[in-house]
A and B are shown apart, each in its own frame.
Chain A
Amino acid sequence: MANEVCFRTLHLPEPWSLESYKSVGGYSVLENIIANKVPAKEIIEQLKLSALRGRGGAGFPTGLKWSFMPRGMPGQKYVVCNSDEGEPGTFKDRDILRYNPHQLIEGMIIAGYVMTASVGYNYMRGEFYEPFERMEFALKEAYENNYLGSSILGSAFKFDLYNHMGAGAYICGEETALIESLEGKKGQPRFKPPFPANYGLFGRPTNVNNTESYASVPPILQHGGQWFLDLGIPNNGGTKIFSVSGHVAKPGNYEISLGTPFSELLNLCGGMRNGNALKAVIPGGSSSPILPAELMMNITMDYDAIGKARSMLGSGAVIVIEEGTCMVELAARTAHFYYEESCGQCTPCREGTGWMSRVIHRILDGNGKMEDLDNLLDITSNIMGRTICALGDAAAMPIAGFLKHYRHEFEYKIQTGRRWVDDHSEAA
């Protein structure tokens, strides 16, 4: 059950070419929609049936999101793809862009059709040089073959798609920050409501989805929502790309069924590197709270199961950590990241991320105090739920997670000045 959706061209010699894509049924869905004037409602029904959930991290049902767009509203509407991949641990969208760009394009064209939007933007992070070239080439092919433009496949349906590049800001992965950035501004999230479906890009109704979400649409419509749902488990339809990194033997992207046990995923990755013992996993990118090995080995990889374990599936970035890794160091690096990436707009995140990072680094430098730990927990809870966007929560949750499961490592560091792992190598 691997590589059936977004990576379905991966086994072909030039997986990114139009020819490769067409050989797996690419653009057949669009052709069918155009030829048979498939009603938008039917497409949305299939998506709802598939239980496809947003692959960017929030996991919001895609079909439902598409149904929010005011179809009947006159004037310009936009579909925007969030390819601003930047959540530490995540590297799946880059591979979709590099190896299967046409599937994203087809997904976005269908989205434009469903939501009566005639313009789309694919917002890629600024460092995606190679993916940009692939996308530009694919767009050219798509235009030449009449899949894009003012009269798609000879019909009255018109859709133009443009590649846009960011310039280095994690926050632009937040959909309203992405819209601001696309408008040529700083990527500072907007207060919601209004949501992009009502007031989005240039003030017009806009649908923003993740790369993997759009790219999942053509196969779903090709094989039916039920097919996709059956690939996974109820409420967690389909396969999902897991970006596995860290201390595994074969890091990489694995497109497998939701609901697959973590232990099975670990096996696919060739197990731990050097046969080391598993210590913990960050299951959904750096924003998701860390889970210890004993929890992970009994968990399935889907939104609900990981949510139940008080973490998140997020973007599907699985960072695997072996025994001997110092959790204070990981926490410090995590805190530093959010301190660097906070946009600065609202108070709790602007001030709180710096505070957390400084406290943890002070502990790491051997100048910690025991009360720092309770203060840290307090800071995390004072940030959470108080900010304009989710970055505040994303910064606070992992820190709370490290303290929840590995408080003893922090305490040891504060009390002895030494890393807990250096003195407990036998503990594994």
Chain B
Amino acid sequence: MNNLSNKRLTDLVSKEAIAEIELWKQKYPSERKRPPIIAALKVVQKEHNQWLSEELMQAVADYLDVPHIAVYEVATFYTMFHLKPMGEHIISVCTNLSCSMLGSAQVVEHLKKRLGVGLGQTTADGKFTLKEVECMAACGGAPMLEVKEQYHENLTPEKVDAILIDLGVKLEAVNG
């Protein structure tokens, strides 16, 4: 019993998203309803500014015919799901052992300065969220970050700037 709108997933996301979820569903035994939860949440999150609203989670649960709480448990357990509005791009910086030994702190500081936000925060224009993450299995290229589903390794402040420029950040504006 709650006050959510009960909108259907098909009304909330694109046809392509539904088709992708259906593709994932085919990978698992048909009598099992839960295995596609993770994939479905990812597909839906990607279309909705990188975060999952309660309405979306409920719609995903109803679409897959699983209890709402089952989806909520999953959404709160895995770090790639966000339950609050995020920036258009999430810049995930690893600060684990190898990365921290090779200067991830400087990378984080540089990004903070460039974007004007702290860890876990989103820029005022809603473009970027700076996120600290645990090991992403690229320690050979430490320090590293991930943005737009791409790993960037062996980071230096210059390299970070290049990435930001690629993402459309005007560095002068930021500095000024």
Contact = CB atoms under 8 A, between A and B. Distances in A.
Contact of B70 (A166, A181, A185, A244): A185
Interface in B113-164: 133-142, 146, 149-151
Contacts of B70: 184-185
Given A181-B38, A186-B74, A125 B97 contact: no
B143 to A, nearest CB: 11
Interface string A95-111: 00000000000000000
Contacts of B66: 184
Nearest to A188: B77
Interface in B67-94: 70, 73-74, 77-81, 92
B34 interface: yes
A245 B139 contact: yes
B78 A86 contact: no
Nearest to B77: A186
A64 to B, nearest CB: 27
Interface in A171-228: 181-187, 202
A146 B52 CA distance: 40
Interface residues of B, number: 43
Interface string A311-350: 0000001010100010001100110010011010000000
Contacts, number: 143
A246 B150 CA distance: 22
Given A184-B34, A247-B101, A286-B97, A90 B137 contact: yes
Contacts of A170: 134-135
A246 B38 contact: no
B39 interface: yes
Given A91-B140, A125-B137, A333 B38 contact: no
Given A87-B135, A184-B38, A246 B101 contact: yes
Nearest to B79: A168
Interface in A356-380: none
A312 B97 CA distance: 17
Contacts of A76: 29
B136 A183 contact: no
B138 A91 contact: yes
A129 interface: yes
A83 to B, nearest CB: 10
Contacts of B35: 164, 182-184
A141 B72 CA distance: 37
A239 interface: no
A130 interface: yes
B134 A88 contact: yes
Interface in A130-185: 130, 162, 164-170, 181-185
Interface string B32-50: 1111111101100000000
Contacts of A234: none
A85 interface: yes
Contacts of A91: 137-140
Nearest to A125: B137
Contact of A319 (B27, B79, B98): B98
A243 B79 contact: no
A186 B76 CA distance: 9
A94 interface: yes
A337 B135 contact: yes
Given A127-B136, A165-B42, A325 B34 contact: no
Contacts of A333: 95-97, 100
B136 A167 contact: no
A126 B149 CA distance: 10
Chain A CB within 10 Å, residue with most, of B35, B41, B81: B35
Contacts of A253: 140
B97 A282 contact: yes
Contacts of B149: 129
Contacts of B146: 127
10 contacts: A88-B135, A89-B135, A94-B138, A127-B92, A170-B134, A184-B74, A187-B78, A202-B32, A333-B96, A337-B135
**CB-CB nearest 7 A-B residue pairs:** A184-B34, A168-B79, A167-B78, A245-B139, A168-B80, A245-B98, A88-B135
Given A85-B137, A325-B101, 7 more contacts: A121-B27, A165-B42, A182-B35, A245-B98, A246-B142, A282-B97, A286-B97
